[in-house]
Every structure is written in structure tokens, then in C-alpha cells.
Amino acid sequence: MFTLTINGEKVTVPEGTSIMNAAKQLRIDIPHLCYLEGLEPEYHCRICGVEIEGEPRLAPSCVRAVSEGMKVHTNTARVRRARKMIVELLLVNHSADCPTCERNQTCELLKLAFELGVKKVRFEGEKPSYELDETSPAIIRDPNKCILCGRCVRVCHDVQTVSVIGFINRGLDIKVSTFMEKGLGNVECTNCGQCIQVCPVGAIKEKSAVDEVWAALANPKKHVVVQEAPAIRAALGEELGLPPGTLVAGKMHTALRRLGFDAVFDTNFSADLTIMEEANELVKRITEGSVLPQITSCCPGWIKFMEHFYPDLIPNVSTCKSPQQMFGSLAKTYYAQKAGIYPAKIVSVSVMPCTAKKFEAQRPEMTDSGFRDVDYVLTTRELARMIKEAGIDFAGLPDESASQLMGLYSGAGTIFGATGGVMEAALRTAYKLVTGKELERIDIEPVRGLDGIKTATVNVDSLEVKVAVAHGLGNARKILDEVRAGKSPYHFIEIMACPGGCVGGGGQPISFDLALRGIRGQVLYNEDRVLPYRRSHDNPSIKKVYQDYLKEPLGEKSHHLLHTKYTNRGRV
């Protein structure tokens, strides 16, 4: 332990603590831009400079470790002057079109400029005029707004181990780009959107579908249906004035009706459907002795990662489509039939916590209904913007349910949004399939929580089913390398690309705070506990869709509409 003084106050912290973190203990918040909790500090921006007595230069407090007896000052005239100067210099080369910028309400640079009292930018310089990277169907990069903090590079390399973006060129020409400047759409990018979550400014954003959805809603010839992923209800409130941790399922359904959607359903329904198919697939693989472990397939970020980096594991990956795509193919078949609507009239919209779902929806094979199964994907942030644009007082809305046919859901469906949720939901149903009995201890605690890799053994009659859960692609790699080496002890593995699972998806309200993601996950576990049905196979709307339409899990119709194939995409 070291004792030091910061602004005259003593604080004792473990060796190796940064000055910035020591200051936090004294409730001093040192401004930072390139530093972000959860990423290794790399001190690019220097805005966190502090004075250390006896040292001629300001020290970057995000990375500088404390030492015994150190005397630090975080609020001297010199420190304040330096910070202001740095913000001004950043603004000189920044294409600061704040009023129309995506991140207007959440921009860290704008906030700092305001908080640090920057009144005027005293310098003039050239504004960059780079081309935008619009090669990806999910994510747009605008290098003109980039302040070169390197957070996106670190999250892509260190957390996701995808490593498709990096600094290129030198001097004034430095920018963040891809190999040969091919663009995100032409490299191994998984579209996970974690780079969006860490970017302090508006340099990375989703490719928006808001205009297209407004147009569909305004078109009287179209019948617009909407589904919302589990994780939306755990985070949408954050964008609309409610505290983190608020469940907004009811308000969300109401808001969607008020926006003019003709049928408001729920992805949680098709999450239940995914479980029916996936649990049956697992039991089949185990009893028939075919390829194990089975790996979940509901995360399109993970799927694209696998198609680039682990195509040899394609036989291990469940053939089940994601809940979004299962819903999509049923919307234009099952629902179209039931409602007597010609499928070409239907516009199928989804609201996802996820940027990768935008990519998934436009995969060429996702047309099993005979039409584009999902037409437009909105992120949580995009839906929040539409709600604001429509002038809906979200916090004051009454609660409504989604329409029953494809909107009733179980607790198993809702926990899909948290890491471990798909595993838990699948085990609840697989247990029933194998034993004919219901799993008594329905809460499978070992697969919950925020550990990067979680494992458990569940006794299903005489069989010990071994399972593993990984979230964040860096964690996934560890488990996948075992599978590749033939050393994996597991029967079933769940993988989610985003740390925390979909509650931490690239389309969620901006944050890279794992604890907040945990709070969002807890919202879903709480909802699970109070729902009338907690197992997918108990959901009456699921029973009905099999009775009336699909017949049986893994049956012919299911096979055609609910299952898919993968592509070896190779490396770039």
C-alpha cells in the first residue's frame, strides 16, 4: 500500500494503482478521453495530465502509478490551462457538426469542452475531409470526427480479438482504418458494435433504418409488424429518462402501437421457439452420438466471427436461426396466413440491441418465407429517437402487452438477453425432453453473472450434461480453441459476442460499463421470476404455432423455415 496526497488530502491505495483511480477514492474525477475503464490505458490524449510536485512535466494520471509520499495536484491553473488547450486542439481538426451529430447527447468531447469551460477555440486549422466508411450494412465510420483515442482499436483487438481496425499512416495523416482501407464490410468485422460503445464521439454509429421505417409506417398499403429483442426492455428506458434497471416491456409495446405499427409482437416469443428447436437438436445430437459440443447460434456477431476464424467448427454450431430470423420467416408465412394478409404487403421490422442483426437480416439466405424475412432492423437507440421524434412521453405511458399470436412469451425467452440466458432456457426444456419431468431448481445460478467464462454440470437423469457459457469474443476464443483441439469436455456451449450478452449489444444506449450491463441483465432475471410461464415449452402461443402450423420441432416445416446454413468466409 502506498500513501500519497492529492490536492492536500491523504489517500492510501495498493501499489500499481493509477493516480486517476486513487483520485476517484477521494471523489475527484480527472477528465479523460482515451482512457476507459475495462480497456488497457494507452495515454494518447494527455487530457488527464496532473502536476506532481518535483516533476517538471504534467503526468498522464490514467497510466501513471502512485508512489509513496507522492504529492499530486489535479486542479491547478497550469493543469486547467493544459486541459483546455488539449480540447481546443482536438476541436480544431474535428468536424464539429454537433447539432446533427448522432452523439449530441452522449458526446464526451462536447461534455468536456463544456465542463472545462472552453469558450473559444483560439486556433484555426484544416478540417479533415475523409470519405466515410459505409461498406458495412451495420456500421458507419466517420474518420472526420475521430479524435484518435484508440478505444475502438483496443476493444476490437483486446476484448473481441477480431483486430480489424488499427492506426494507419503517420503524422497528420494518421487515422483509424482497416487493412488496405477496404472498409469494415470487406474485412472480418463481426458487426458487434463494441467499438461504437467505447467511442467517445460520433465517429462510429449504426447504419440507420429510421427513415425507411417511418416511410413504411406512413404507407397505407403496407402492414408493418414489429418484434423487439429481450434486451430492449432492459435498456430502452435509459434513453428515455428512466433510471437504469427499469423494466419497460409494457411501455415499449404501448409506444410501438402509438408509433403506428400495425401488429406489435415480441422477439421473446421466437426466443421460446428457438429453445424448442435448439433443445431438441441438442437432445438429438446427444442421443444419436453426433457432433458435440453443440454451440448456440442466436448471436450473428459470433456467427460471422466463427465463419471467418473457426469455420472448421461449423458442424458444431446449432442450425437454428436466431430468434430475429425465426420471427421473420413466420411473420410472412404463419402470421400472414392467420391474418389473411398477402405477405408482400407485410413490412417486417425488428428492434434489436445489436448492430450485427442488421447484417444478419440482409444475409442472402434469410428469405425462407419467399420474401425478405426481416426488412428493417432498428437498434434500441434508433427506436428511442423515433419515440422522441413522435413526441411520446415514454415515462408516462401505460403498460400494454404484445399481441398474443407471436407476442406471448415465457421467462425463458426473456433471459435470452443476458449472458447465460440461452443456456439456462435451453436446459429447462432439454431436461423435460429427456426425463419427461420438469426441472425443479429452475434457476441455474452457475451460468448467470458476469464472469467471462462460466461452466456447470447439470444432472439429467443418469447423464451429466456439461455446459459452458462465454461472452465477449476474446473469452469465446478460449473455449473454441479447446473444441478445435478436441479437448472440450462440454456438451453444450453458449456464445455471445458482446460482453454481458445482448444487454451490452452494440445497439444499446452508449456504455461500456460491465456493471451497468449486469444491472440490465438483472432486469430480465427479475421479469423471468414473475412471468406466468417460465419454460418455453409451457408457452401457449408456442404450443399453438406447432399445433396449427409447424407440426413438430425439427420437422419438415421447421427445417425449412427455422434452420439455416453457414458460410466459410475465410480470412482477409
Of the candidate residues 156, 235, 397, 554, the single one contacting ligand SF4 (CB under 6 A): 156
CB of 515 to ligand SF4, least distance (A): 18
Q: How far is 427 from 420, CA to CA, in rounded Å?
A: 11
CB of 117 to ligand SF4, least distance (A): 22
**Which amino acid belongs to residue 261?**
F
Binding to ligand SF4 in span 469-498, by CB under 6 A = 496-498
Place of cell 488499427: 166
* Partners of 12 in the β-ladder: 3
In terms of Cα–Cα distance, which of 155, 136, 201, 139 is closest to 355? 139
Of the candidate residues 194, 267, 268, 558, the single one contacting ligand SF4 (CB under 6 A): 194
Of the candidate residues 50, 52, 112, 203, the single one contacting ligand SF4 (CB under 6 A): 203
CB distance 423 to 444 below 8 Å: yes
Q: Which helix (H) or strand (E) holds 135?
A: none
278 is known as an active-site residue = yes
Binding to ligand SF4 in span 158-187, by CB under 6 A = 160, 162, 164-165, 176, 184
Kindly report the backbone phi and psi dihedral angles of residue 485, in degrees, each rounded to the nearest multiple of 5, phi listed first: -80, 0
Q: Which is nearer to ligand SF4, 439 or 468 (CB)?
A: 468
Q: Which of 365, 445, 464, 552 is catalytic?
A: 365
CB distance 163 to 152 below 8 Å: no
* Partners of 455 in the β-ladder: 468
Cα 427 to Cα 304, 327, 328, distances in angstroms: 25, 22, 25
β strands within 106-193, DSSP E: 139-141, 166-168, 175-177
Q: Which stretch binds ligand SF4 (CB under 6 A): 58-66, 155-163, 368-376, 461-469?
A: 155-163
* Range 441-475 burial, b when 16+ CB lie within 10 A, else e: ebebebbbebebebbbebebeeeebbbbbbbbbbb
Kindly report the backbone phi and psi dihedral angles of residue 172, in degrees, each rounded to the nearest multiple of 5, phi listed first: -65, -15
358 binds ligand SF4 (CB under 6 A): no
**Which amino acid belongs to residue 113?**
A
Q: Which stretch binds ligand SF4 (CB under 6 A): 191-199, 234-242, 256-264, 338-346?
A: 191-199
The residue whose Cβ lies closest to ligand SF4 is: 505
298 is known as an active-site residue = yes
124 is known as an active-site residue = no
45's contact among ligand FES, ligand SF4, another protein, none, with CB below 5 to 8 A by partner kind, is ligand FES
Binding to ligand SF4 in span 503-542, by CB under 6 A = 505
CB distance 542 to 548 below 8 Å: no
CB of 439 to ligand SF4, least distance (A): 25
Binding site for ligand FES (CB under 6 A): 32-35, 43-48, 60, 62
Q: Which is nearer to ligand FES, 20 or 320 (CB)?
A: 20
Q: How far is 420 from 494, CA to CA, in rounded Å?
A: 7
150's contact among another protein, ligand FES, ligand SF4, none, with CB below 5 to 8 A by partner kind, is ligand SF4
Q: Which helix (H) or strand (E) holds 357?
A: helix 356-361
At 279, list the grid cell: 433443445
198's contact among ligand SF4, another protein, ligand FES, none, with CB below 5 to 8 A by partner kind, is ligand SF4
CB distance 429 to 492 below 8 Å: no
Place of cell 436446459: 427
Q: Which is nearer to another protein, 177 or 322 (CB)?
A: 177
**Which amino acid belongs to residue 256?**
L
Q: How far is 113 from 120, CA to CA, in rounded Å?
A: 10
44's contact among ligand SF4, ligand FES, another protein, none, with CB below 5 to 8 A by partner kind, is ligand FES
389 is known as an active-site residue = no
DSSP state of 55: -
268's contact among another protein, ligand SF4, ligand FES, none, with CB below 5 to 8 A by partner kind, is none
Q: How far is 21 from 27, CA to CA, in rounded Å?
A: 10
Q: Which of 18, 270, 297, 318 is catalytic?
A: 318
Q: Which is nearer to ligand FES, 30 or 271 (CB)?
A: 30
Q: Which of 205, 251, 357, 432 is catalytic?
A: 357
Q: Which sign does the torsion angle of CA 253, 257, 259, 261 carry?
A: positive
CB of 430 to ligand SF4, least distance (A): 21
CB of 569 to another protein, least distance (A): 14
190 binds ligand SF4 (CB under 6 A): yes
Kindly report the backbone phi and psi dihedral angles of residue 77, in degrees, each rounded to the nearest multiple of 5, phi listed first: -60, -40
45 is known as an active-site residue = no
155 binds ligand SF4 (CB under 6 A): yes
Q: Which of 45, 156, 320, 502 is catalytic?
A: 502
- Contacts with 487 (C-beta within 8 Å, 6 or more apart), sequence order: none
152 is known as an active-site residue = no
Binding site for another protein (CB under 8 A): 157, 163-171, 177-180, 187, 571-572
Q: Which stretch binds ligand SF4 (CB under 6 A): 151-159, 335-343, 380-388, 534-542?
A: 151-159
301's contact among another protein, ligand SF4, ligand FES, none, with CB below 5 to 8 A by partner kind, is ligand SF4
177 is known as an active-site residue = no
In terms of Cα–Cα distance, which of 362, 381, 407 is closest to 264? 407
Q: How many residues bind ligand SF4 (CB under 6 A)?
A: 43
Categorise residue 226: left if φ over 0, alpha if ψ from -120 to 50, beta otherwise: beta
Q: Say whether 351 sits in a helix, a strand or coil.
A: strand
72 binds ligand SF4 (CB under 6 A): no
CB distance 426 to 275 below 8 Å: yes
Rule CB under 6 A: which residues touch ligand SF4? 139, 146-152, 155-156, 160, 162, 164-165, 176, 184, 189-195, 198-201, 203-204, 299-302, 353-354, 356-357, 496-498, 501-502, 505
Residues assigned a catalytic role: 278, 281, 298, 318, 357, 360, 365, 502
